[in-house]
Chain A
Amino acid sequence: MAYSDKVLDHYNNPRNVGALDKSAKDVGTGVVGAPECGDVMKLQIQVDDSGRIVDAKFKTYGCGSAIASSSLATEWLKGATIDEAMQIKNTQIVEELALPPVKIHCSVLAEDAIKAAIDDYRTKQGAEAPAES
């Protein structure tokens, strides 16, 4: 199976592998996928008071394209606002990494992971600071 140079680069030098404190109020965590399906992604964001993502980390169990999709996602998330992050589409990931059709589900999973992490962050903020907005 031929991988694009960008997939290989992310696979060999994944960006932002690691973990943030999932109990922290300013951290949102999303875990999507299932082991028997061949991929599980965990994506975390740390958000400052202005709603900007100051840090992002991932861990992925999955093929090279799944690793690359989540690695790329963390790159795009860092420095983005929550609103900008919500705009990230799986098709952009497909395009950037030149994913073949059989690997499109990896990009879908990455988009789902972003949304799940933002959801988690918003839930925490909502629960902790009900007065806001």
Chain B
Amino acid sequence: MTIKTPIYMDNSATTQCDPRVVDKMVRYFAEDFGNAASRNHAFGWQAESAVDQAREEVALLLGAHPKEIVFTSGSTEANNLAIKGVAEMYASKGRHLISCVTEHKAVIDPLKHLEQQGYEVTWLEVDGMGRIDLEALRGAIRPDTILVSLMAANNETGTAHPIAEIGALCKERGVLFHTDATQVVGRMPIDVQSQGIDLLSLSAHKFYGPKGVGALYVRRKSPRVRLAPLMDGGGHERGMRSGTLNVPGIAGMGEAARLAREEFDQNVAKVQALRDRLEQGILAGLPDAVVNGDTEHRLPHLSNISFPYVEGESMIMGIKDVAVSSGSACTSASLEPSYVLKSLGLGDELAHSSIRFSVGRFNTEEEVDFVVDLVVREVTRLREMSPLWEMVQEGIDLSKVKWTHH
């Protein structure tokens, strides 16, 4: 079998839409193109029935009630709606929120926005594996705390937070709990009841659905969560999200949710086996490569690895036959290392030389073996070219060298 390059191993950025999902969507563009809010004719009823079915599927996936699902354009919007919606609605109760420094920008930035409006945010720190300290969370909760927002698993390192424990703690203290579960859907079990989740964000394109559609789960009972909408308009989605529904997208997400639920065990087993094969292969070939994050509690499909003594950009150049993400948000103008990896205590240098591999269920063992070979070969080649590697071989302690800063 010949391998087609580049090989896609960036499934935490997005996934390929499942062909069954695409099939499901097509008829809602041309045939059943109605507006789900049209109550007077069959076009509208068809669309509404597609939306209802999708709502049912998304709810089933989360252990929720269909009436608790609000469709959005994705996780960014869902996070904004949860955070700003709670902040506005509960402002008379308090103006304090708790989150963490490793959250996605789609949580950090809405919170920063609130800080500018006079809200106060406690930013929890993480340890070297990206884990929060539950006692620190307990200590941060105050009488005026209205929301704890902590992601289910991190998009860069894969580290999973103990969601059920956080949910229980929030319940005990009477604080609402929002989780950004974008990376977790279809990859780790989610159950809003047993995990004590009040609000949960998801995005269809991370679980083999279409881009530009997602949802926010909003608890309806014990407690009933109320939200101020981000947008005012026709009052769709029980007033929480106005705007004509994206019927094809929602139908696609429903189908993706059904597949994620029904094929959960086999999908997780597959990506985990591929990830483990990849990680073990790379570590066997490059013993001083370092796996970042919590290797025990983490996403099954992701491995974030630092390669000491080789520089990140040259590495990406060397392994261009595989599509991955790097630890440096490397725009042409700046080489800013990842804030997530830095918060784990990685130096700029290691953060720069880290690669996020995230496999998906369309990857194969042959592709994994090809990537292992490629990475081991390129890192070895670049190391042989590296004066840092040479110094280390000579027994020089790099931290003691006097470098010429420029």
Contacts and interface: CB of A to CB of B under 8 A. Distances in A.
Given A59-B387, A66-B311, A109-B406, 17 more contacts: A1-B332, A3-B317, A11-B317, A31-B387, A32-B404, A32-B406, A34-B405, A37-B405, A38-B311, A59-B386, A60-B386, A60-B387, A61-B311, A61-B387, A62-B311, A63-B313, A112-B404
A61 B311 CA distance: 6
Interface residues of B, number: 27
Given A61-B311, A112-B406, A1 B330 contact: yes
Interface in B384-406: 384-390, 398, 403-406
A109 B335 CA distance: 17
A35 interface: yes
Q: State the main secondary structure of chain A at its contact with B.
A: mixed
A11 B398 CA distance: 25
Contacts of B311: 38-39, 61-63, 66
Contacts of B398: 35
Interface string B306-327: 0001110110011000000000
A60 to B, nearest CB: 6
Contacts of B348: 36, 38
Interface of A: 1, 3, 11, 14, 17, 19, 31-42, 59-64, 66-67, 100, 102, 105, 108-109, 112
Given A14-B385, A35-B349, A61 B405 contact: no
B136 interface: no
Contacts of A40: 387-388, 403
B314 A62 contact: yes
A42 B387 contact: yes
B352 interface: yes
Contacts of A35: 349, 388, 398, 403
B406 A61 contact: no
B398 to A, nearest CB: 7
A33 B330 contact: no
B396 to A, nearest CB: 11
A36 B332 CA distance: 18
Given A1-B330, A38-B352, A64-B314, A59 B385 contact: yes
A34 B404 contact: yes
A66 B398 CA distance: 20
A67 B314 contact: yes
A61 B347 contact: no
Those 4 A-B pairs whose CB atoms lie nearest each other, nearest first:
A34-B403, A42-B387, A63-B313, A59-B387
B390 A19 contact: yes
Interface string B73-101: 00000000000000000000000000000
Interface in B372-391: 384-390
Contacts of A3: 317
A106 to B, nearest CB: 11
B44 to A, nearest CB: 49
Contact of A33 (B310, B314, B332, B406): B406
A5 to B, nearest CB: 14
Contacts of B1: none
A38 B406 CA distance: 11
Contact of B406 (A14, A64, A105): A105
A51 to B, nearest CB: 26
A42 B381 CA distance: 16
Contacts of B386: 59-61
B406 to A, nearest CB: 7
16 contacts: A14-B385, A19-B390, A31-B387, A33-B406, A36-B347, A38-B349, A40-B403, A41-B387, A42-B387, A59-B386, A60-B385, A61-B388, A62-B314, A63-B311, A63-B313, A66-B311
